[in-house]
Amino acid sequence: MKNRLVKMSISFLLTALLVIGSSCSSTQSTPPTESGVAPDFSWKDKKGTTVKLSDLRGYVVILDFWATWCIPCEMTIPHIEAIYEEFQGTNLIVLGIDTFERATQEEVQQFVQKNGMKYLIVQDKDNKVAAKYGVTGIPRIFVINKEGRISKTIIGYDPEMKNILKTEIEKLLKE
């Protein structure tokens, strides 16, 4: 009886986290569709050079929209990091897009270090990138093919995320 109660409590908690994660909202926009062209945006790399998403044509790109306060986002990080590690040295680029943020720059850096995020982190301080992608809740993941088209979108946390992403990436890297 006690074991059943614990299982029901855990199930309820995970369901609540999924609902919270998918409803952490901010802006309204029409989301790009799968097979649609990924909206372009730019950021400064560590050397101060402007890099655009469109510069990454020829690579498979994962965009992971997250924030430090979002528990389901934190749950996705090990999956994204595992994909990043597994596909290092291939034509895969992983970008973590920190959006809807409430933390200071220093707190974001501490979060990145604490969670072992070795992939590139881009800050979307004014939420304009999130708006271009129609992101109204996080976590939200987009997989972009070598031609710059969205091939897959994952909304919220999925415990099978690593396997879903791996299957999609392997398919896209062969194209």
For residue range 91-139, list pLDDT tens digits in order: 999 999 999 999 998 999 999 999 999 999 999 989 999 999 999 999 9
Distance (Å, whole) CA 99 – CA 76: 15
**Residue 154: pLDDT above 60?**
yes
Residue with tokens 């992983």: 94
b/e sequence 104-124, b meaning 16+ C-beta within 10 Å: eeeebeebbeebebebebbeb
pLDDT computed for residue 15 by the predictor:
36
pLDDT computed for residue 34 by the predictor:
63
Residue 74 near residue 138 (C-beta atoms within 8 A): no
Look up the CATH number of the domain holding residue 130: 3.40.30.10
**Residue 88: pLDDT above 90?**
yes
pLDDT computed for residue 24 by the predictor:
43
Confidence of residue 49 (pLDDT cuts 50, 70, 90): confident
Distance (Å, whole) CA 16 – CA 92: 33
User: Which tokens go with 24?
Assistant: 């952490």
Domain that holds residue 26: 2-174
Largest CA distance in the chain: 60
pLDDT computed for residue 7 by the predictor:
40
27-43: per-residue pLDDT in tens? 334 456 666 899 999 98
The count of structural domains within the chain is: 1
pLDDT computed for residue 62 by the predictor:
97
